[in-house]
Amino acid sequence: MENILEVKNLCKKYDNFELKNISFILPKGMIMGLIGENGAGKTTTIKAILDIIKKYKGDIKIFGLDNRKDDKKIKEDIGVVLDDMFFPEILTPNDIDNSMKGIYTNWDSEMFQNYLKKFSLVSNKQIKTFSKGMRKKLEIVTALSHHPKLLILDEPTAGLDPIARSEVIDIFQSFIENDDCSILLSSHITTDLERVADYITFINNGEILLSKTKDELLDKYGIVKCTEAEFKKIQRNDYIKYIKNKYEYEVLVENKNTFKLKYKIKVIDKITLDDLMFLMIKGEE
């Protein structure tokens, strides 16, 4: 399978934060979800991929090209929505349409106007009249309307109501029906990622804790709830992390079927991405 994005040993040091050897691969035709707490390093990673931040170590290839040496060739085929992105408030969507024609050779005004109608965005109203959710929709519409091969999205559904979020997720799924296209999607709304992502990369405190297929995580990982006496019988290499609650232990295991057979346990709870994040970050080893 051909890769659309390769990040290898990405390192970036600030006074009070450091990215440490971030590495992952995004194949063509796939969606990767980036998860982690605020300040974990997701946005810094995205900005390094886009060559917005400089003086980092490591290698980043997009479409097989070096993102620092071939950035002009690359940018034409990337659609971007950043959490701190914004358009000047005096502009209208029609102004953006006209501006983008001079930036992207593949800009599609018809597609842009159709998306505006789909999301009920008035084309001749100034952006300052738009709500936060409407502005986010406009950013997404703009990112999609020059036929990119890679979407890089930082909190693209933040501020959207559930109906609008569902519409946007449907558009993302349609986007990757073209097997040449992929999406890197950072979001705190893990239910969206559970619905749409093929891969999950979990960043915490500047390091990758895991990068796996979503199905592997949600199908194989599980939570064992047990008493203290039962927990003491579990060998250390058979669990990842645990949390001691008032009345029971919650234990994160990597392969629930193997664990069931070894410890004769009938029920192991399914895991969500929220469960995974909480136990990996807050749990003890």
- Residue 1, pLDDT score: 66
User: Same domain for 39 and 176?
Assistant: yes
Q: CB within 8 A of 137, min separation 6: which ones?
A: 119, 121, 160, 164, 168
Which 8-state DSSP code applies to residue 125? S
How confident is the model at residue 161, as a pLDDT?
87
pLDDT of the residue at 90: 94
Same domain, 189 and 233: no
In eight-state DSSP terms, residue 215 is H
Q: Do 113 and 132 fall within a single domain?
A: yes
Shared domain for 122 and 262, answered yes or no, is no
| Whether residue 148 is found in the same domain as residue 196 | yes
> Could you tell me if 38 and 90 lie in one domain?
yes
Series of mean pLDDT values for 10-residue runs along the chain (285 residues): 92 92 95 93 93 90 86 85 84 95 93 94 94 89 94 90 88 88 94 94 95 94 93 94 93 94 89 94 93
Total number of domains in the chain: 2
Tell me which residue has tokens 């036929």: 147
Residues 6+ positions from 1 with CB-CB distance below 8 Å: 27, 28
| Angle at 130 (CA atoms; ends 124, 134), nearest 5 degrees | 100
Select from 194, 213, 232 the last residue of a domain. 213
Residues 41 and 157 in one domain: yes
72 in the same domain as 142: yes
Range(s) of the domain holding residue 182: 3-213
Statement to judge: residues 205 and 255 lie in one domain: no
| Residue where the block lists tokens 């029920």 | 267
Residue 155: count other Cβ atoms within 10 Å of its Cβ.
Answer: 19
Q: What is the CATH number of the domain that holds 123?
A: 3.40.50.300
Residue 158's nearest CA partner among 173, 144, 168, 150 is 168
Are residues 146 and 40 part of one domain? yes
